[in-house]
Structure 1
Amino acid sequence: MKACYGLRAPAKLNLFLHVVGKRSDGYHLLESLFVPIDWYDTLHMERRSDGRLQRHDLGTPLPEDDLCLRAARLLREASGVDFGADIHIDKRIPSGAGMGGGSSDAATVLIALNRLWNLNWTHQRLLPLALQLGADVPFFLGRGPAWVEGIGEILRDADLPTLRLAVLKPPQSLPTKAIFESPLLLRSETLAIVAGSFAVTAFDWKRHRNDLQAAAVSRCEQVGQALQLLDAAFGNSRMTGSGSAVFSEVGPSAFPEATGLEACMQVPKGWEGRLCHSLESMPLAGWIPG
Protein backbone atom coordinates (compact mmCIF):
# COMPACT_ATOMS: atom_id res chain seq x y z
CA MET A 1 0.00 0.00 0.00
CA LYS A 2 1.40 3.38 -1.05
CA ALA A 3 -1.53 5.68 -0.23
CA CYS A 4 -4.75 5.78 1.75
CA TYR A 5 -7.54 8.29 1.28
CA GLY A 6 -10.63 9.39 3.18
CA LEU A 7 -9.39 8.49 6.66
CA ARG A 8 -11.84 9.80 9.24
CA ALA A 9 -10.41 11.18 12.48
CA PRO A 10 -13.27 11.55 14.99
CA ALA A 11 -13.69 14.08 17.78
CA LYS A 12 -14.31 12.94 21.36
CA LEU A 13 -16.38 14.08 24.31
CA ASN A 14 -15.70 13.60 28.02
CA LEU A 15 -19.01 12.46 29.45
CA PHE A 16 -17.54 13.45 32.80
CA LEU A 17 -14.05 14.37 34.02
CA HIS A 18 -12.71 14.09 37.56
CA VAL A 19 -9.38 15.43 38.83
CA VAL A 20 -8.30 12.85 41.40
CA GLY A 21 -4.67 13.74 42.13
CA LYS A 22 -1.45 15.31 40.91
CA ARG A 23 1.90 13.76 40.05
CA SER A 24 5.24 15.07 41.26
CA ASP A 25 5.95 16.37 37.73
CA GLY A 26 2.87 18.60 37.86
CA TYR A 27 0.57 16.52 35.65
CA HIS A 28 -2.92 16.01 37.04
CA LEU A 29 -4.38 12.53 37.46
CA LEU A 30 -7.82 12.10 35.93
CA GLU A 31 -10.75 9.75 35.70
CA SER A 32 -13.00 10.20 32.71
CA LEU A 33 -15.32 8.48 30.29
CA PHE A 34 -14.36 9.23 26.68
CA VAL A 35 -16.62 8.66 23.68
CA PRO A 36 -15.73 9.24 20.01
CA ILE A 37 -18.41 11.07 18.01
CA ASP A 38 -19.28 11.44 14.33
CA TRP A 39 -17.71 14.88 13.91
CA TYR A 40 -14.61 14.23 11.81
CA ASP A 41 -11.46 15.61 10.27
CA THR A 42 -10.52 13.79 7.06
CA LEU A 43 -6.96 12.82 6.15
CA HIS A 44 -5.41 11.55 2.91
CA MET A 45 -1.88 10.16 3.08
CA GLU A 46 0.66 9.18 0.45
CA ARG A 47 3.99 7.49 1.02
CA ARG A 48 7.11 9.28 -0.22
CA SER A 49 10.40 7.57 -1.01
CA ASP A 50 12.56 10.69 -0.46
CA GLY A 51 12.03 10.86 3.31
CA ARG A 52 10.28 14.25 3.26
CA LEU A 53 7.28 14.91 5.49
CA GLN A 54 4.84 17.48 4.18
CA ARG A 55 1.38 18.58 5.32
CA HIS A 56 -1.19 20.08 2.96
CA ASP A 57 -4.14 21.94 4.48
CA LEU A 58 -7.41 21.37 2.63
CA GLY A 59 -9.58 23.24 5.14
CA THR A 60 -8.77 25.41 8.14
CA PRO A 61 -5.02 26.20 8.09
CA LEU A 62 -3.01 24.54 10.85
CA PRO A 63 0.14 25.76 12.64
CA GLU A 64 3.35 25.17 10.71
CA ASP A 65 4.50 22.36 13.00
CA ASP A 66 1.31 20.66 14.17
CA LEU A 67 0.71 17.32 15.89
CA CYS A 68 0.37 15.50 12.54
CA LEU A 69 3.91 16.34 11.48
CA ARG A 70 5.22 15.71 14.99
CA ALA A 71 3.58 12.27 14.98
CA ALA A 72 5.10 11.41 11.60
CA ARG A 73 8.57 12.54 12.70
CA LEU A 74 8.35 10.63 15.96
CA LEU A 75 7.36 7.40 14.23
CA ARG A 76 10.06 7.79 11.59
CA GLU A 77 12.76 8.41 14.23
CA ALA A 78 11.58 5.51 16.38
CA SER A 79 11.38 3.08 13.47
CA GLY A 80 14.41 4.22 11.47
CA VAL A 81 12.62 4.00 8.11
CA ASP A 82 13.68 6.11 5.13
CA PHE A 83 10.16 6.83 3.92
CA GLY A 84 8.35 10.15 4.11
CA ALA A 85 4.74 11.16 3.57
CA ASP A 86 2.40 13.74 2.14
CA ILE A 87 -0.34 14.38 4.71
CA HIS A 88 -3.46 16.10 3.38
CA ILE A 89 -5.92 17.19 6.05
CA ASP A 90 -9.41 18.64 5.81
CA LYS A 91 -9.82 20.19 9.25
CA ARG A 92 -13.43 20.32 10.48
CA ILE A 93 -13.23 19.67 14.24
CA PRO A 94 -12.97 23.00 16.11
CA SER A 95 -9.65 23.68 17.81
CA GLY A 96 -9.42 24.77 21.44
CA ALA A 97 -12.68 22.95 22.09
CA GLY A 98 -11.73 20.05 24.38
CA MET A 99 -12.83 17.69 21.58
CA GLY A 100 -9.39 16.22 20.86
CA GLY A 101 -9.26 17.05 17.16
CA GLY A 102 -5.48 17.50 16.99
CA SER A 103 -4.92 14.36 19.05
CA SER A 104 -7.23 12.37 16.79
CA ASP A 105 -5.37 13.59 13.71
CA ALA A 106 -2.02 12.60 15.27
CA ALA A 107 -3.29 9.11 16.12
CA THR A 108 -4.63 8.71 12.58
CA VAL A 109 -1.18 9.61 11.21
CA LEU A 110 0.48 7.01 13.46
CA ILE A 111 -2.02 4.33 12.42
CA ALA A 112 -1.83 5.11 8.70
CA LEU A 113 1.95 5.44 8.50
CA ASN A 114 2.35 2.22 10.49
CA ARG A 115 0.66 0.60 7.50
CA LEU A 116 2.08 2.72 4.66
CA TRP A 117 5.65 2.27 5.92
CA ASN A 118 5.14 -1.50 6.36
CA LEU A 119 6.02 -1.39 10.07
CA ASN A 120 3.12 -3.49 11.40
CA TRP A 121 3.77 -2.30 14.95
CA THR A 122 1.33 -3.47 17.60
CA HIS A 123 -0.85 -1.21 19.72
CA GLN A 124 1.50 -1.64 22.68
CA ARG A 125 4.45 -0.51 20.59
CA LEU A 126 2.66 2.58 19.25
CA LEU A 127 1.22 3.57 22.63
CA PRO A 128 4.40 5.18 24.11
CA LEU A 129 4.72 7.36 21.01
CA ALA A 130 1.10 8.43 21.34
CA LEU A 131 1.60 9.44 24.96
CA GLN A 132 4.63 11.56 24.02
CA LEU A 133 2.40 13.53 21.66
CA GLY A 134 -0.36 14.28 24.17
CA ALA A 135 -2.59 12.85 26.87
CA ASP A 136 -5.58 12.34 24.54
CA VAL A 137 -3.68 10.63 21.71
CA PRO A 138 -3.65 7.11 23.28
CA PHE A 139 -7.45 7.11 23.38
CA PHE A 140 -7.66 7.56 19.62
CA LEU A 141 -5.40 4.52 19.13
CA GLY A 142 -8.04 2.48 20.93
CA ARG A 143 -11.12 0.65 19.76
CA GLY A 144 -13.92 2.91 20.93
CA PRO A 145 -15.46 4.39 24.09
CA ALA A 146 -13.12 4.05 27.05
CA TRP A 147 -12.74 4.55 30.75
CA VAL A 148 -9.59 6.67 31.07
CA GLU A 149 -7.26 7.10 34.07
CA GLY A 150 -3.81 8.45 34.91
CA ILE A 151 -2.85 11.28 32.57
CA GLY A 152 -4.62 9.51 29.71
CA GLU A 153 -2.43 6.44 29.32
CA ILE A 154 -4.60 3.96 31.26
CA LEU A 155 -7.58 2.94 29.14
CA ARG A 156 -10.22 0.27 29.43
CA ASP A 157 -12.86 -0.47 26.84
CA ALA A 158 -16.30 0.77 27.85
CA ASP A 159 -19.57 -0.91 26.92
CA LEU A 160 -21.60 2.15 25.96
CA PRO A 161 -24.92 2.41 24.12
CA THR A 162 -25.09 4.91 21.25
CA LEU A 163 -25.85 8.42 22.48
CA ARG A 164 -27.45 11.30 20.60
CA LEU A 165 -25.64 14.49 21.48
CA ALA A 166 -25.94 18.19 20.76
CA VAL A 167 -22.49 19.83 20.64
CA LEU A 168 -21.97 23.60 20.72
CA LYS A 169 -18.62 25.42 20.37
CA PRO A 170 -18.42 29.20 21.00
CA PRO A 171 -15.81 31.24 19.10
CA GLN A 172 -13.54 31.67 22.10
CA SER A 173 -11.08 28.89 22.94
CA LEU A 174 -9.49 28.11 26.28
CA PRO A 175 -5.84 27.43 27.22
CA THR A 176 -5.69 24.05 28.94
CA LYS A 177 -2.75 25.01 31.17
CA ALA A 178 -4.58 28.04 32.58
CA ILE A 179 -7.66 25.96 33.41
CA PHE A 180 -5.63 23.38 35.35
CA GLU A 181 -3.83 26.15 37.23
CA SER A 182 -7.04 27.94 38.21
CA PRO A 183 -7.88 28.18 41.94
CA LEU A 184 -11.44 27.21 40.93
CA LEU A 185 -10.31 23.78 39.73
CA LEU A 186 -12.35 21.18 41.59
CA ARG A 187 -11.16 17.84 42.94
CA SER A 188 -12.97 14.50 43.23
CA GLU A 189 -12.42 11.27 45.09
CA THR A 190 -11.40 8.37 42.88
CA LEU A 191 -14.27 6.12 41.82
CA ALA A 192 -11.93 3.11 42.15
CA ILE A 193 -13.46 1.17 39.27
CA VAL A 194 -12.31 -2.45 39.38
CA ALA A 195 -9.89 -3.78 36.79
CA GLY A 196 -11.18 -5.27 33.57
CA SER A 197 -13.65 -3.99 31.00
CA PHE A 198 -15.96 -1.24 32.17
CA ALA A 199 -19.74 -1.69 31.85
CA VAL A 200 -21.30 1.74 31.45
CA THR A 201 -24.76 0.21 31.59
CA ALA A 202 -24.24 -0.09 35.36
CA PHE A 203 -22.86 3.45 35.71
CA ASP A 204 -24.83 6.72 35.58
CA TRP A 205 -22.33 9.17 34.12
CA LYS A 206 -24.83 12.05 34.40
CA ARG A 207 -24.39 12.00 38.18
CA HIS A 208 -20.78 13.05 37.75
CA ARG A 209 -19.36 16.42 36.73
CA ASN A 210 -16.50 17.97 34.81
CA ASP A 211 -14.14 19.28 37.49
CA LEU A 212 -12.72 21.83 35.02
CA GLN A 213 -16.04 23.45 34.18
CA ALA A 214 -16.20 26.04 36.99
CA ALA A 215 -12.70 27.28 36.17
CA ALA A 216 -13.58 27.52 32.49
CA VAL A 217 -16.82 29.42 33.07
CA SER A 218 -14.99 31.95 35.27
CA ARG A 219 -12.50 32.58 32.46
CA CYS A 220 -14.89 32.51 29.48
CA GLU A 221 -18.44 33.90 29.60
CA GLN A 222 -19.24 32.12 26.33
CA VAL A 223 -18.86 28.73 28.01
CA GLY A 224 -21.49 29.71 30.55
CA GLN A 225 -23.73 31.01 27.77
CA ALA A 226 -23.35 27.77 25.81
CA LEU A 227 -24.24 25.73 28.89
CA GLN A 228 -27.36 27.81 29.42
CA LEU A 229 -28.45 27.52 25.77
CA LEU A 230 -28.17 23.74 25.70
CA ASP A 231 -29.74 23.37 29.12
CA ALA A 232 -32.74 25.40 27.98
CA ALA A 233 -33.08 23.35 24.78
CA PHE A 234 -32.45 19.83 26.10
CA GLY A 235 -32.55 19.96 29.88
CA ASN A 236 -28.90 19.07 30.51
CA SER A 237 -25.50 20.42 29.55
CA ARG A 238 -21.82 19.87 30.32
CA MET A 239 -18.43 21.05 29.11
CA THR A 240 -16.09 18.54 27.47
CA GLY A 241 -12.40 18.35 28.40
CA SER A 242 -10.97 21.74 29.27
CA GLY A 243 -13.48 23.46 26.95
CA SER A 244 -14.74 25.50 25.34
CA ALA A 245 -17.21 23.12 23.63
CA VAL A 246 -20.24 21.93 25.59
CA PHE A 247 -22.73 19.15 24.92
CA SER A 248 -26.10 17.75 25.94
CA GLU A 249 -27.57 14.30 25.58
CA VAL A 250 -30.66 14.52 23.41
CA GLY A 251 -33.66 12.27 23.90
CA PRO A 252 -34.76 9.96 21.07
CA SER A 253 -37.89 12.00 20.34
CA ALA A 254 -36.28 15.45 20.51
CA PHE A 255 -35.42 15.71 16.81
CA PRO A 256 -35.57 13.68 13.60
CA GLU A 257 -32.28 12.09 12.53
CA ALA A 258 -31.84 14.47 9.58
CA THR A 259 -32.46 17.62 11.62
CA GLY A 260 -29.70 20.17 12.20
CA LEU A 261 -29.03 21.78 15.56
CA GLU A 262 -30.39 25.11 14.29
CA ALA A 263 -33.83 23.51 13.98
CA CYS A 264 -33.79 22.67 17.71
CA MET A 265 -32.37 25.88 19.16
CA GLN A 266 -31.00 29.29 18.26
CA VAL A 267 -27.27 29.02 17.59
CA PRO A 268 -25.51 32.39 17.99
CA LYS A 269 -23.84 33.78 14.89
CA GLY A 270 -20.24 32.65 14.55
CA TRP A 271 -20.70 29.61 16.80
CA GLU A 272 -20.33 26.01 15.63
CA GLY A 273 -22.89 23.39 16.54
CA ARG A 274 -23.95 19.92 15.44
CA LEU A 275 -26.21 17.08 16.39
CA CYS A 276 -23.96 14.05 16.70
CA HIS A 277 -23.95 10.39 17.69
CA SER A 278 -21.37 8.56 19.74
CA LEU A 279 -19.46 5.84 17.89
CA GLU A 280 -19.30 2.22 18.96
CA SER A 281 -15.82 1.88 17.45
CA MET A 282 -13.05 3.98 15.98
CA PRO A 283 -12.99 4.24 12.18
CA LEU A 284 -9.52 2.62 12.01
CA ALA A 285 -9.95 0.23 14.94
CA GLY A 286 -8.97 -2.78 12.84
CA TRP A 287 -5.81 -1.29 11.36
CA ILE A 288 -3.42 -1.92 14.27
CA PRO A 289 -2.08 -5.46 14.70
CA GLY A 290 -2.64 -7.01 18.09
Structure 2
Amino acid sequence: MAKTLHLPAPAKLNRLLHITRRRDDGYHELQTLFQLVDIGDTISFIPRDDNRIVLNEGIDDVAHEDNLVVRAARLLQTATENSHGVSLSIEKRLPMGGGLGGGSSNAATVLLGLNHLWQMNLSIDQLAALGLQLGADVPVFVKGHSAWAEGVGEKLTSVTLDAPWFVIIHPGVSVSTAAVFQDPELTRNTPPITMARALQGGASTWRNDCEAVVKKRYSPIAAALDWLNCFAPSQLTGTGACVFAAFETHEAAKQIARDASQHWPTWVAKGLNRSPLHDALGG
Protein backbone atom coordinates (compact mmCIF):
# COMPACT_ATOMS: atom_id res chain seq x y z
CA MET A 1 0.00 0.00 0.00
CA ALA A 2 1.06 3.58 -0.63
CA LYS A 3 2.57 5.33 2.39
CA THR A 4 0.71 8.62 1.96
CA LEU A 5 -2.11 9.70 -0.30
CA HIS A 6 -3.33 13.26 -0.93
CA LEU A 7 -6.69 13.56 -2.71
CA PRO A 8 -8.99 16.45 -3.69
CA ALA A 9 -12.54 16.84 -2.40
CA PRO A 10 -14.12 19.21 -4.97
CA ALA A 11 -17.04 21.54 -4.37
CA LYS A 12 -20.35 21.54 -6.25
CA LEU A 13 -22.92 24.10 -7.29
CA ASN A 14 -26.65 23.50 -7.66
CA ARG A 15 -27.31 25.27 -10.92
CA LEU A 16 -31.00 24.39 -10.71
CA LEU A 17 -32.99 23.30 -7.66
CA HIS A 18 -36.71 22.57 -7.85
CA ILE A 19 -38.72 21.16 -4.95
CA THR A 20 -41.60 19.14 -6.33
CA ARG A 21 -43.30 17.79 -3.20
CA ARG A 22 -43.03 17.05 0.50
CA ARG A 23 -43.20 13.36 1.29
CA ASP A 24 -45.11 11.77 4.16
CA ASP A 25 -41.80 11.11 5.96
CA GLY A 26 -40.99 14.82 5.94
CA TYR A 27 -38.29 14.65 3.27
CA HIS A 28 -38.65 16.62 0.04
CA GLU A 29 -38.58 15.33 -3.51
CA LEU A 30 -36.41 17.56 -5.69
CA GLN A 31 -34.84 17.96 -9.09
CA THR A 32 -31.42 19.52 -9.35
CA LEU A 33 -28.40 19.95 -11.59
CA PHE A 34 -25.12 19.35 -9.79
CA GLN A 35 -22.02 20.88 -11.34
CA LEU A 36 -18.57 20.18 -9.98
CA VAL A 37 -16.02 23.01 -9.74
CA ASP A 38 -12.26 23.10 -9.40
CA ILE A 39 -12.05 24.41 -5.84
CA GLY A 40 -12.28 22.23 -2.76
CA ASP A 41 -10.60 20.66 0.23
CA THR A 42 -7.68 18.21 0.26
CA ILE A 43 -7.63 15.04 2.35
CA SER A 44 -4.44 13.23 3.32
CA PHE A 45 -4.37 9.51 4.16
CA ILE A 46 -1.62 7.77 6.14
CA PRO A 47 -2.07 3.99 6.61
CA ARG A 48 -1.81 2.68 10.17
CA ASP A 49 -0.51 -0.61 11.52
CA ASP A 50 -3.58 -0.93 13.76
CA ASN A 51 -7.29 -0.73 12.91
CA ARG A 52 -7.88 2.75 14.34
CA ILE A 53 -9.53 5.58 12.38
CA VAL A 54 -7.90 8.84 13.47
CA LEU A 55 -8.79 12.32 12.28
CA ASN A 56 -6.05 14.83 12.99
CA GLU A 57 -7.28 18.28 13.95
CA GLY A 58 -11.04 17.75 13.83
CA ILE A 59 -13.72 20.41 13.67
CA ASP A 60 -14.66 22.39 16.77
CA ASP A 61 -18.02 21.37 18.27
CA VAL A 62 -18.10 18.14 16.20
CA ALA A 63 -17.23 14.97 18.09
CA HIS A 64 -14.58 12.78 16.45
CA GLU A 65 -16.96 9.88 15.76
CA ASP A 66 -19.64 12.25 14.40
CA ASN A 67 -17.36 13.77 11.77
CA LEU A 68 -18.45 12.67 8.29
CA VAL A 69 -14.94 11.61 7.24
CA VAL A 70 -14.60 9.37 10.30
CA ARG A 71 -18.09 7.97 9.72
CA ALA A 72 -17.20 7.30 6.06
CA ALA A 73 -14.00 5.48 7.00
CA ARG A 74 -15.78 3.49 9.71
CA LEU A 75 -18.61 2.59 7.31
CA LEU A 76 -16.21 1.23 4.69
CA GLN A 77 -14.23 -0.61 7.36
CA THR A 78 -17.39 -2.29 8.64
CA ALA A 79 -18.89 -3.01 5.21
CA THR A 80 -15.73 -4.75 4.02
CA GLU A 81 -14.95 -6.40 7.37
CA ASN A 82 -11.32 -5.34 7.14
CA SER A 83 -8.86 -4.57 9.91
CA HIS A 84 -6.96 -1.72 8.26
CA GLY A 85 -6.64 1.67 9.91
CA VAL A 86 -5.85 5.17 8.70
CA SER A 87 -4.91 8.64 9.93
CA LEU A 88 -6.75 11.40 8.07
CA SER A 89 -6.05 15.11 7.75
CA ILE A 90 -8.23 17.71 6.03
CA GLU A 91 -6.88 20.88 4.46
CA LYS A 92 -10.14 22.81 4.75
CA ARG A 93 -10.87 25.55 2.20
CA LEU A 94 -14.64 25.28 1.77
CA PRO A 95 -16.88 26.91 4.37
CA MET A 96 -19.06 24.68 6.50
CA GLY A 97 -22.74 25.04 5.67
CA GLY A 98 -22.01 27.01 2.53
CA GLY A 99 -24.06 24.90 0.10
CA LEU A 100 -20.89 23.79 -1.70
CA GLY A 101 -21.09 20.19 -0.49
CA GLY A 102 -17.84 20.27 1.46
CA GLY A 103 -18.75 17.67 4.07
CA SER A 104 -20.35 15.34 1.53
CA SER A 105 -17.39 15.67 -0.81
CA ASN A 106 -14.98 14.94 2.06
CA ALA A 107 -16.92 11.77 2.85
CA ALA A 108 -16.89 10.67 -0.80
CA THR A 109 -13.14 11.27 -1.05
CA VAL A 110 -12.59 9.12 2.03
CA LEU A 111 -14.71 6.28 0.59
CA LEU A 112 -12.88 6.31 -2.75
CA GLY A 113 -9.48 6.97 -1.22
CA LEU A 114 -9.72 4.14 1.30
CA ASN A 115 -11.20 1.76 -1.27
CA HIS A 116 -8.01 2.41 -3.26
CA LEU A 117 -5.61 2.48 -0.31
CA TRP A 118 -7.00 -0.63 1.38
CA GLN A 119 -7.43 -2.40 -2.00
CA MET A 120 -11.06 -3.27 -1.30
CA ASN A 121 -12.07 -3.23 -4.99
CA LEU A 122 -15.65 -2.08 -4.39
CA SER A 123 -17.36 -0.70 -7.48
CA ILE A 124 -18.42 2.92 -7.83
CA ASP A 125 -22.06 1.87 -7.47
CA GLN A 126 -21.28 0.00 -4.25
CA LEU A 127 -19.43 3.00 -2.86
CA ALA A 128 -22.27 5.34 -3.88
CA ALA A 129 -24.75 3.10 -2.03
CA LEU A 130 -22.58 3.35 1.08
CA GLY A 131 -22.30 7.10 0.60
CA LEU A 132 -26.08 7.49 0.54
CA GLN A 133 -26.12 6.24 4.14
CA LEU A 134 -24.04 9.30 5.03
CA GLY A 135 -26.01 11.92 3.10
CA ALA A 136 -28.04 12.52 -0.06
CA ASP A 137 -25.26 14.56 -1.73
CA VAL A 138 -22.48 12.01 -1.17
CA PRO A 139 -23.27 9.78 -4.19
CA VAL A 140 -22.76 12.56 -6.75
CA PHE A 141 -19.23 13.09 -5.46
CA VAL A 142 -18.59 9.33 -5.42
CA LYS A 143 -19.73 8.98 -9.02
CA GLY A 144 -17.62 11.99 -9.95
CA HIS A 145 -19.57 13.64 -12.74
CA SER A 146 -21.92 16.58 -13.09
CA ALA A 147 -25.41 15.17 -12.88
CA TRP A 148 -29.16 15.58 -13.06
CA ALA A 149 -30.57 14.39 -9.73
CA GLU A 150 -34.03 13.45 -8.55
CA GLY A 151 -35.59 11.86 -5.45
CA VAL A 152 -33.85 13.43 -2.46
CA GLY A 153 -30.88 13.98 -4.76
CA GLU A 154 -29.68 10.38 -4.93
CA LYS A 155 -31.13 9.33 -8.31
CA LEU A 156 -28.35 10.45 -10.61
CA THR A 157 -27.93 10.73 -14.37
CA SER A 158 -24.58 12.03 -15.62
CA VAL A 159 -24.82 15.13 -17.82
CA THR A 160 -22.41 17.43 -19.58
CA LEU A 161 -23.04 21.05 -18.69
CA ASP A 162 -21.48 24.23 -19.99
CA ALA A 163 -18.36 24.96 -17.96
CA PRO A 164 -18.05 28.70 -17.40
CA TRP A 165 -16.00 30.50 -14.78
CA PHE A 166 -17.89 31.16 -11.56
CA VAL A 167 -17.60 33.84 -8.93
CA ILE A 168 -18.67 32.32 -5.61
CA ILE A 169 -19.36 34.50 -2.59
CA HIS A 170 -19.85 33.45 1.02
CA PRO A 171 -21.98 36.12 2.75
CA GLY A 172 -20.65 35.21 6.19
CA VAL A 173 -23.73 33.61 7.72
CA SER A 174 -24.67 30.02 8.51
CA VAL A 175 -27.93 28.71 7.08
CA SER A 176 -30.05 26.10 8.84
CA THR A 177 -31.06 23.68 6.08
CA ALA A 178 -33.69 22.13 8.35
CA ALA A 179 -35.24 25.53 9.05
CA VAL A 180 -35.39 26.36 5.33
CA PHE A 181 -37.13 23.09 4.49
CA GLN A 182 -39.58 23.55 7.37
CA ASP A 183 -40.46 27.13 6.43
CA PRO A 184 -44.18 27.31 5.52
CA GLU A 185 -43.40 29.75 2.69
CA LEU A 186 -41.02 27.36 0.90
CA THR A 187 -42.15 26.45 -2.62
CA ARG A 188 -42.92 22.71 -2.55
CA ASN A 189 -45.08 22.23 -5.64
CA THR A 190 -42.92 23.05 -8.63
CA PRO A 191 -44.17 20.81 -11.46
CA PRO A 192 -41.62 18.09 -12.28
CA ILE A 193 -39.86 18.46 -15.62
CA THR A 194 -37.78 16.08 -17.68
CA MET A 195 -34.02 16.25 -17.71
CA ALA A 196 -34.13 16.99 -21.45
CA ARG A 197 -36.42 19.96 -20.90
CA ALA A 198 -34.21 21.31 -18.11
CA LEU A 199 -31.10 21.09 -20.25
CA GLN A 200 -32.86 22.52 -23.29
CA GLY A 201 -33.99 25.55 -21.29
CA GLY A 202 -30.41 26.35 -20.32
CA ALA A 203 -28.95 28.48 -17.55
CA SER A 204 -31.17 31.48 -18.31
CA THR A 205 -34.20 29.47 -17.12
CA TRP A 206 -32.63 27.78 -14.08
CA ARG A 207 -33.61 28.82 -10.56
CA ASN A 208 -33.43 27.68 -6.93
CA ASP A 209 -36.75 27.21 -5.11
CA CYS A 210 -35.05 27.81 -1.74
CA GLU A 211 -33.82 31.25 -2.70
CA ALA A 212 -36.87 33.35 -1.80
CA VAL A 213 -37.10 31.88 1.71
CA VAL A 214 -33.35 32.15 2.30
CA LYS A 215 -33.25 35.77 1.15
CA LYS A 216 -36.11 36.63 3.51
CA ARG A 217 -34.50 34.87 6.47
CA TYR A 218 -30.91 36.02 5.87
CA SER A 219 -30.42 39.63 4.79
CA PRO A 220 -26.63 39.24 4.20
CA ILE A 221 -27.40 36.60 1.56
CA ALA A 222 -29.98 38.88 -0.06
CA ALA A 223 -27.40 41.67 -0.12
CA ALA A 224 -24.76 39.46 -1.76
CA LEU A 225 -27.24 38.24 -4.37
CA ASP A 226 -28.32 41.77 -5.17
CA TRP A 227 -24.71 42.94 -5.47
CA LEU A 228 -23.68 40.06 -7.74
CA ASN A 229 -26.82 40.49 -9.85
CA CYS A 230 -25.47 43.88 -10.93
CA PHE A 231 -22.85 42.04 -12.99
CA ALA A 232 -24.47 38.74 -14.02
CA PRO A 233 -27.53 36.68 -13.09
CA SER A 234 -26.79 35.32 -9.62
CA GLN A 235 -28.18 32.39 -7.71
CA LEU A 236 -28.07 30.52 -4.41
CA THR A 237 -26.44 27.08 -4.30
CA GLY A 238 -28.32 24.48 -2.27
CA THR A 239 -29.84 26.17 0.77
CA GLY A 240 -26.83 28.51 0.87
CA ALA A 241 -25.16 30.40 2.24
CA CYS A 242 -22.97 30.74 -0.87
CA VAL A 243 -24.17 32.54 -3.98
CA PHE A 244 -22.66 32.43 -7.45
CA ALA A 245 -22.72 33.84 -10.96
CA ALA A 246 -21.27 32.54 -14.22
CA PHE A 247 -18.86 34.42 -16.49
CA GLU A 248 -17.52 33.49 -19.92
CA THR A 249 -13.87 34.27 -19.20
CA HIS A 250 -11.45 33.86 -16.34
CA GLU A 251 -10.49 37.52 -16.58
CA ALA A 252 -14.08 38.71 -16.26
CA ALA A 253 -14.63 36.50 -13.22
CA LYS A 254 -11.38 37.66 -11.60
CA GLN A 255 -12.32 41.30 -12.03
CA ILE A 256 -15.68 40.86 -10.27
CA ALA A 257 -14.09 38.65 -7.60
CA ARG A 258 -11.55 41.35 -6.78
CA ASP A 259 -14.37 43.78 -6.00
CA ALA A 260 -16.41 41.17 -4.13
CA SER A 261 -13.45 40.17 -1.95
CA GLN A 262 -13.48 43.64 -0.39
CA HIS A 263 -16.76 42.64 1.28
CA TRP A 264 -16.91 38.82 1.47
CA PRO A 265 -14.79 35.66 1.19
CA THR A 266 -14.79 35.02 -2.56
CA TRP A 267 -13.56 32.33 -4.94
CA VAL A 268 -13.11 32.08 -8.69
CA ALA A 269 -13.84 28.53 -9.83
CA LYS A 270 -13.91 26.74 -13.18
CA GLY A 271 -16.92 24.59 -13.93
CA LEU A 272 -16.10 20.91 -14.39
CA ASN A 273 -17.96 17.88 -15.61
CA ARG A 274 -15.51 15.24 -14.34
CA SER A 275 -14.20 15.15 -10.79
CA PRO A 276 -10.51 15.78 -10.20
CA LEU A 277 -10.75 13.04 -7.56
CA HIS A 278 -11.38 10.46 -10.27
CA ASP A 279 -8.53 11.91 -12.31
CA ALA A 280 -6.22 11.59 -9.30
CA LEU A 281 -7.20 7.96 -8.79
CA GLY A 282 -7.02 7.17 -12.48
CA GLY A 283 -10.65 6.05 -12.54
TM-score (normalised: structure 1): 0.89
* 1:141 counterpart residue number: 142
What's the offset of the Cα at 1:134?
0.5
Work out the CA distance in 1 between the residues paired with 2:212 and 2:148: 23
Work out the CA distance in 2 between the residues paired with 1:5 and 1:80: 22
* 1:164 counterpart residue number: 165
* 1:86 counterpart residue number: 87
Q: Does 1:63 pair with 2:56?
A: no
Amino acid corresponding to residue 228 of structure 1 in structure 2: D
Unaligned runs of 5+ in 2: none
Q: Deviations over 1:231-271 (max 9, x none)?
A: 11x23110000111000111338627xx36543x24354x2
What's the offset of the Cα at 1:23?
2.5
Residues 288, 212 of structure 1: alpha-carbon distance in 2 compared, 3 angstrom cutoff: farther
* 1:177 counterpart residue number: 178
* 2:21 counterpart residue number: 21
* 1:50 counterpart residue number: 50
* 1:103 counterpart residue number: 104
Amino acid corresponding to residue 280 of structure 1 in structure 2: N
- The 8 Å contact of residues 12 and 36 in structure 1, kept in 2 or not, is answered as yes
* 1:120 counterpart residue number: 121
* 2:191 counterpart residue number: 189
| Range 210-219 or range 20-29, more displaced | 20-29
Work out the CA distance in 1 between the residues paired with 2:252 and 2:203: 23
* 1:278 counterpart residue number: 271
What's the offset of the Cα at 1:284?
2.3
- The 8 Å contact of residues 16 and 206 in structure 1, kept in 2 or not, is answered as no
Work out the CA distance in 1 between the residues paired with 2:186 and 2:282: 37
* 2:221 counterpart residue number: 223
- The 8 Å contact of residues 123 and 288 in structure 1, kept in 2 or not, is answered as no
Number of equivalenced pairs: 279
What's the offset of the Cα at 1:129?
1.1
Q: Deviations over 1:198-228 (max 9, x none)?
A: 994x341331210011111111111101101
Amino acid corresponding to residue 211 of structure 1 in structure 2: D
Residues 97, 172 of structure 1: alpha-carbon distance in 2 compared, 3 angstrom cutoff: same
Residues 121, 276 of structure 1: alpha-carbon distance in 2 compared, 3 angstrom cutoff: same
Work out the CA distance in 2 between the residues paired with 1:102 and 1:282: 16
Work out the CA distance in 2 between the residues paired with 1:262 and 1:130: 34
SS of the counterpart of 1:71? helix
Amino acid corresponding to residue 62 of structure 2 in structure 1: P
Q: Does 1:267 pair with 2:242?
A: no
Residues 3, 25 of structure 1: alpha-carbon distance in 2 compared, 3 angstrom cutoff: farther
Unaligned runs of 5+ in 1: none
SS of the counterpart of 1:26? coil
- The 8 Å contact of residues 148 and 195 in structure 2, kept in 1 or not, is answered as no
Work out the CA distance in 1 between the residues paired with 2:166 and 2:257: 14
Work out the CA distance in 1 between the residues paired with 2:27 and 2:273: 30
Residues 92, 253 of structure 1: alpha-carbon distance in 2 compared, 3 angstrom cutoff: closer
Amino acid corresponding to residue 63 of structure 1 in structure 2: V
Work out the CA distance in 2 between the residues paired with 1:262 and 1:152: 30
SS of the counterpart of 2:41? strand
| Range 246-255 or range 216-225, more displaced | 246-255
What's the offset of the Cα at 1:16?
1.1
SS of the counterpart of 1:104? helix
TM-score (normalised: structure 2): 0.91
What's the offset of the Cα at 1:283?
1.4
Residues 170, 126 of structure 1: alpha-carbon distance in 2 compared, 3 angstrom cutoff: same
SS of the counterpart of 2:276? coil
Q: Deviations over 1:56-77 (max 9, x none)?
A: 139x757233110010111111
What's the offset of the Cα at 1:288?
8.5
What's the offset of the Cα at 1:2?
3.2
Residues 86, 253 of structure 1: alpha-carbon distance in 2 compared, 3 angstrom cutoff: closer
* 1:39 counterpart residue number: 39
